[in-house]
């Protein structure tokens, strides 16, 4: 068992951190948010108001396995544990408390300056990127001739990694230090980010390049807060997709 991951998990319980959780049964995966509550030598407890209704009967909770993921110090902690019991929270009739055994599997899956989430094919995201000069006013939309053709690979609170493909401006037209305007759309919401190219790796398999883009720190304006909220929503949605895929694979 990964000792660093276990220590991070125990610290998250002591801090009563919010996490993403999932349970799988009969080829269906149910994902939801939960708050870690407490721990002892035999296991831990978490509380949620989104426990799947299909599992409210205690008889159906036998042999259920809970998957949990959360970010911490530039890493993602993932674990799985057997569920032991389901209890009413008492104070909140819509909330339940779930008791689990000690994690059977727990690991740190990445270490980065920011917790990054991969973007699977078909995710409901649209990223549009333009190369802009340093003096450009970010709220102004650039000309189509300055747009890059990109595929979004992963995203974090600090930036994105994209694959830049041949277009009006190809991969060879950008380099570390260049300023980019990135517009992210998710559902009915969108936000604009001020980015800088921090690394550029030409891919040998095709004419594309893998490019890392760091976002300028978001300020406390209405636009900055809107962008921060959108990033949180996007990352949370992608984490839930990741939990579902991991749980589906474990149940297969």
What's the topology of domain 3-111? Pnp Oxidase; Chain A (2.30.110)
The alpha carbon dihedral of 15, 102, 68, 8 has a sign of: positive
Per-residue pLDDT reduced to its tens digit, 13-47:
998 988 888 887 666 677 788 899 999 999 999 99
Amino acid 248: pLDDT: 60
**Model confidence at 251: pLDDT above 60:** no
- Residues present in the chain in total: 252
Band (pLDDT 50/70/90 cuts) for residue 112 is low
Banded model confidence at residue 4, pLDDT cuts 50, 70, 90: confident
Candidates 120, 22, 19; CA nearest to 77 is 19
Q: What does the pLDDT look like over 189-230, one tens digit per residue?
A: 899 999 999 888 887 667 789 999 989 877 777 888 888 888
Query: What's this model's pTM, rounded to 2 decimal places?
Result: 0.59
CATH for the 117-236 domain, from 3.30.450.20, 2.40.10.220, 1.10.240.10, 3.30.360.10: 2.40.10.220
Indicate if the pLDDT at residue 51 is higher than 70. Answer: yes
Which residue has better confidence, 2 or 179?
A: 179
* Domain extent listing, the chain: 3-111, 117-236
Please check the confidence at residue 181 and state whether its pLDDT lies above 70: yes
Strands (E), 157-219: 159-165, 179-186, 189-202, 209-215
């Amino acid at each position: 068992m990964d000792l660093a991951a276990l220590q991070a998990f125990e610290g998250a319980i002591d801090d009563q951190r919010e996490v993403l959780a999932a349970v799988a049964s009969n080829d269906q995966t149910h994902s939801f948010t939960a708050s870690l509550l407490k721990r002892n030598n035999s296991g831990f407890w978490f509380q949620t108001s989104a426990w799947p209704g299909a599992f409210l009967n205690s008889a159906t909770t036998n042999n259920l396995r809970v998957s949990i993921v959360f970010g911490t110090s530039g890493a993602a902690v993932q674990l799985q544990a057997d569920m032991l019991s389901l209890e009413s929270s008492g104070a909140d009739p819509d909330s339940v408390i779930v008791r689990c055994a000690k994690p059977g599997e727990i690991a740190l899956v990445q270490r980065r300056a920011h917790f990054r989430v991969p973007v699977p094919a078909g995710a409901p995201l649209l990223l549009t990127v333009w190369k802009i000069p340093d003096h450009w006013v970010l709220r102004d939309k650039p000309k189509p001739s300055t747009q890059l053709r990109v595929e979004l690979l992963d995203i974090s609170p600090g930036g994105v990694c994209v694959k830049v493909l041949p277009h009006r401006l190809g991969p060879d037209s950008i380099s570390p230090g260049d300023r980019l305007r990135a517009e992210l759309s998710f559902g009915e919401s969108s936000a604009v980010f001020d980015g800088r190219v921090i690394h550029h790796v030409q891919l040998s398999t095709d004419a594309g390049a893998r490019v890392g883009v760091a976002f300028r720190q978001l300020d406390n304006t209405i636009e900055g807060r809107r962008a921060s909220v959108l990033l949180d929503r996007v990352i949370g949605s992608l984490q839930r997709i990741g939990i579902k895929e991991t749980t589906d694979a474990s149940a297969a």
